[in-house]
Amino acid sequence: MPFAKRLKNILPYIFAEINSNQDEIVGLGVDIINMDVGTPDRPTPADIV
């Protein structure tokens, strides 16, 4: 079954692109602090607060 033509209008998932860029930068030896969505169901660790 062919895909609908309107699917071509869907933009790429931005966080997948960010993760891809992040992986490339980490591969160059740069230390990155990941500030993405995280786990909101858990409290912030005490050493961060």
State how far the Cα of 31 lies from the Cα of 46, in Å rounded to an integer.
Answer: 22
Q: Is the pTM of this model over 0.95?
A: no
Question: What are the tens digits of pLDDT across the range 17-42?
Answer: 888 888 889 999 999 887 777 667 77
Higher pLDDT, 47 or 35: 47
Note the pLDDT of residue 41: 79
State how far the Cα of 34 lies from the Cα of 23, in Å rounded to an integer.
Answer: 11
